[in-house]
Amino acid sequence: MWLETLESGQGRTARIMFACMERLSGTEVPAVLKVLCYRHHFFGTPFSDLIQEVMRGPSFWTVAEREIFATRASQSNECPFCHSAHRGIAGAYVATDVVDRALADGSPLRPEARAMLDFLGKMVRDPDALTPGDADKLRASGVSATAFDEAIWVATLFNVINRVMNTVGAQALEDRQSRVGARFIKAFGYRIPPPVRLFSRGA
């Protein structure tokens, strides 16, 4: 069930921004933006700043690989909203069939990303089952300690937001919503939009 306070509890700035976005895009504002803008000083702004750095900052991993990692984490956590959203965002950087094949068997990915994807899937599903042997496979594939940390950050952040989105009852995006959202993220990134960051004075 969708948490109604995320509709009724938004500040004036966010409500105006949502109305403008819906008018321009012809589709509903994504649920995650409503979550992040609600009392954004407590969670949305710091979280979105961190996810921008992890998903778009300098990294051994390409943007597409990081989006595929996020999609795998969301798939493993059974989060329909984030899975549909990040499958779409990954598809804005590589062909969607490449994304789907990567999630199915890792075949289109370079060896390091394929090994990391397997590790992240296991880490999210059953972290207690990880063994030193899993880390050995990563090292053998060429994943450095720095690259490992960067990928773990992706999975960790999505462990958080997947649970938040499932808690508030966010459903999978329709294809059009996914495409519009992917274009928005590709153009503007993950940070809370400036109108809310700059002009929302409430908590």
Beta-carbon count within 10 A of 161 CB: 22
Tens of pLDDT along 21-63? 999 999 999 999 999 999 999 999 999 999 999 999 999 999 9
pLDDT of residue 202: 53
pLDDT of residue 125: 93
Say which CATH architecture domain 5-199 belongs to: Up-down Bundle (1.20)
Does 8 have pLDDT greater than 60?
yes
Torsion region of 109: left, alpha or beta (phi above 0 gives left; psi -120 to 50 gives alpha):
beta
Q: Are 6 and 168 in contact (CB under 8 A)?
A: yes
Query: Distance from CA of residue 65 to its chain's centroid?
Result: 12
Burial-class residue 40 by CB neighbours within 10 Å (0-12, 13-18, 19+). Answer: buried
pTM of the model: 0.93
Tens of pLDDT along 166-198? 999 999 999 999 999 999 999 999 999 998 988
3-state SS string for 12-44: HHHHHHHHHHHHHHCCCCCHHHHHHHCCCCCCH
